[in-house]
Amino acid sequence: MNGKTLDWLAGPGAPLQGAICGPGDKSVSHRAVMLGALAEGVSEVEGFLEGEDTRATAAILGRLGVRFEAPGDGLRRIHGVGLHGLRGADGPLDCGNAGTGMRLLAGLLAGQAFDSTLVGDASLSRRPMGRVIEPLRRMGARIEAGEGGLPPLIIYASNGLQAIDYELPVASAQVKSAVLLAGLYARGETRVREPHPTRDYTERMLAAFGWPIRFSPGDARLEGGHRLRATRVLVPADFSSAAFFLVAASVVPGSDLLLRRVGMNPRRTGLLAALRAMGADITETPAGEQGGEPVADLRVRHARLRGISVPEALVPDMIDEFPALFVAAALAEGETRVSGAAELRVKESDRIATMAAALRALGADIEEAPDGALIRGGRLHGGEVHSHGDHRIAMAMAVAAQRAEGEVRITDCANVATSFPGFAALAGGVGFGLQETAGLG
């Protein structure tokens, strides 16, 4: 999605010190603009993630006839058009790099009276969409994808959707959310059951917008035919963005860092449990609620980490945090084993392969498995690593570089702006050695 290429020169940094408040939660921001668009009245969003992924979703809703005002950084006023007020757009709708945007919008668009085409960048164009197409077709949606169920997605005008009772074959909040959003337009009660509970932001936010919904971990039910009422959404800071700082301050000697008002939804904070089991020193001071989500200030100090076997039950609660966890493991004493995490292979990049290659380029001892890895902790040296345009790989390797014994060039980092615009400046401000430089490629 970015024309320019950007590399980072990351090098041993100073102890990390100070206090920061990271960007708004990506998952919550996507959902806030979608539900605000479909609501009746004007919704206000505070703490909206000004990232490329979430802006792409807002831009698509704008093309479907929703008026957005952006009175300041992280602020949106959304003039909702009601459940049946969207109108079709000419030409394809570009989701950029965002899997969440494309999968949730597929559910939302499946019930509309017009045709839509969803496209994405090169990375998104390689990500599986069959997982949303299959349940949506069962609901009566007419959707076509490219070969192998890959984008683009063509979603035809609906002839009416029928509710389903769906058991998710993979733990995926995106698939669950697509089915629930289509369920708003379906006749009858839509139910989604999950093998492992995943993040429940769609359920919580539907309730906040006044839609009757019953949910408990791993089970959500709603009926079609109600209304969404405009509301105010306060977006907490994204735990997944805080994660890089949790690991960095844990591994860099002398660090003592405060992360303010981080979203602590239990379906997102698996990394905290994993890092604590490794010996991390992280204290948590509850800071109330923000937009119905618990938030906390997290103080993290350097500690000696030791390897662990990551419990498989924790995997869905830390699915976006494995790049950061792999770095912690590569710098810990002893072995860390990750299993039951094959989903990592279909994220913005194949995160098992890209992390294994990147850490190996710095001298780490890491063996890939189809569903995880075995990482033996040790020392890292400088070198050149490839992020493959994956924001979380770039940020994880910037963390690794803080403890490398030599400078690290990380290539292809422009996509960090999809989830964490301003990462390099914020990280530099608390002690990271990190400079942006024009890409070589």
Catalytic residues: 320
Q: Which of 10, 11, 22, 27 binds ligand S3P (CB under 6 A)?
A: 27
Nearer to ligand S3P, 173 or 308 (CB): 173
**Interface residues for ligand S3P in 65-124 (CB under 6 A)?**
100
Tell me the number of residues near ligand S3P by CB under 6 A.
11
Residue 297 to residue 275: CA distance in whole angstroms: 16
**Which residue's Cβ lies closest to ligand S3P?**
27
Q: Which of 43, 57, 158, 177 binds ligand S3P (CB under 6 A)?
A: 177
Least separation in angstroms between CB 171 and ligand S3P: 7
Q: Which of 43, 112, 158, 174 binds ligand S3P (CB under 6 A)?
A: 174
Q: How far is CA 371 from CA 228, 236, 345, 432, in A?
A: 40, 31, 8, 32
Q: Is 269 in the site for ligand S3P (CB under 6 A)?
A: no
Residue 98 to residue 95: CA distance in whole angstroms: 6
Least separation in angstroms between CB 130 and ligand S3P: 13
- 127-145 residues labelled b (16+ CB within 10 A) or e (exposed): bbbebbbebbeebbbebeb
Q: How far is CA 434 from CA 197, 274, 358, 429, in A?
A: 37, 26, 17, 10
Nearer to ligand S3P, 423 or 432 (CB): 423
The DSSP letter of residue 340 is: S
Least separation in angstroms between CB 28 and ligand S3P: 8
Least separation in angstroms between CB 263 and ligand S3P: 12
Tokens of 345: 């292979």
Residue 385 to residue 364: CA distance in whole angstroms: 12
**Interface residues for ligand S3P in 191-220 (CB under 6 A)?**
198-199
Stretch that binds ligand S3P, among 7-15, 55-63, 169-177, 229-237 (CB under 6 A): 169-177
Q: Which of 34, 39, 173, 358 binds ligand S3P (CB under 6 A)?
A: 173
Q: Report angle CA 382, 383, 389 to the nearest 5 degrees.
A: 125
Instruction: Name the helix (H) or strand (E) containing 301.
Output: strand 293-301
Q: How far is CA 203 from CA 101, 196, 228, 293, 319, in A?
A: 17, 16, 13, 12, 19
Q: Is 172 in the site for ligand S3P (CB under 6 A)?
A: yes
Residue carrying structure tokens 């303010």: 260
Residue 252 to residue 240: CA distance in whole angstroms: 19
Report the candidate in 367, 425, 428, 417 with the shortest Cα–Cα distance to residue 387. Answer: 417
Binding mask 340-379 for ligand S3P (x = CB under 6 A): ---x------------------------------------
Least separation in angstroms between CB 174 and ligand S3P: 4
Instruction: Name the helix (H) or strand (E) containing 300.
Output: strand 293-301
Stretch that binds ligand S3P, among 170-178, 183-191, 275-283, 420-428 (CB under 6 A): 170-178
Least separation in angstroms between CB 343 and ligand S3P: 6
Tokens of 413: 């980092």
Q: ω into residue 169 within 30 of 0, thus cis?
A: no
Stretch that binds ligand S3P, among 117-125, 173-181, 289-297, 399-407 (CB under 6 A): 173-181
β-bridge mates for residue 40, sequence order: 81, 229
Stretch that binds ligand S3P, among 2-10, 167-175, 256-264, 379-387 (CB under 6 A): 167-175
Q: Is 55 in the site for ligand S3P (CB under 6 A)?
A: no
Nearer to ligand S3P, 343 or 371 (CB): 343
Least separation in angstroms between CB 53 and ligand S3P: 9
Instruction: Return residues touching ligand S3P (CB under 6 A).
Output: 27, 100, 172-174, 177, 198-199, 319-320, 343
